[in-house]
Amino acid sequence: MALTIGDKAPDFTLLDENENKVTLSKLRGKKVILYFYPKDNTPGCTKEACDFRDMYKQFKKHDVEVFGISKDSAKTHTKFIDKYELPFSLLVDDNADVCEAYGVINKKSMFGKTFLGIQRSTFLIDEKGIIRAIWRKVKVPGHVEQVLNDIN
């Protein structure tokens, strides 16, 4: 069953780029943006990460923590963060367990082949761990601005 606005956000513990554990329930008291993306260093994912980077101070003004989640390794995340000077953590979901819990694993096709991959999606979770907004099938241009406007 797909998550909907008003649902309790599925809790998780994932490693960040420094292999430190990040547990969603330990972030209670703050709003959290979880953005799921397919792969580090690809054009759309780089644009999305840089858009979050460029608007990061505005998210912090609203006491919002931002986390990107993909199946990439901590090492790949570290290189991606360093290359684009990202001020937020990227979390490693190598088994796609959290992606599955949030319903962002979908069939995709490329060059005539069908495979399961991460559908670009963003979730706004409130201070009590409740999902307050969901953006699925995200188109990168203008997305981060829309998220920020919805937080306001």
45 is catalytic: yes
- Exposed e or buried b for every residue in 12-46, given b needs 16+ CB within 10 A? bebbbbeeeebebeebeeebbbbbbbbebeeeebb
Task: Report the helix count and the strand count for the chain, using DSSP H and E.
Answer: 4, 9
Residue 42, sorted as left (phi over 0), alpha (psi -120 to 50) or beta, turns out to be beta
Neighbours of 123 (CB within 10 A): 24
Whether residue 5 contacts residue 134, with contact meaning beta carbons closer than 8 Å, is answered with yes
Helix, strand and coil content of the chain, in percent to the nearest 5, comes to 30, 30, 40
Catalytic residue among 3, 45, 81, 92: 45
Give the span between the Cα atoms of 49 and 139, in whole angstroms: 13
Residues catalogued as catalytic: 45
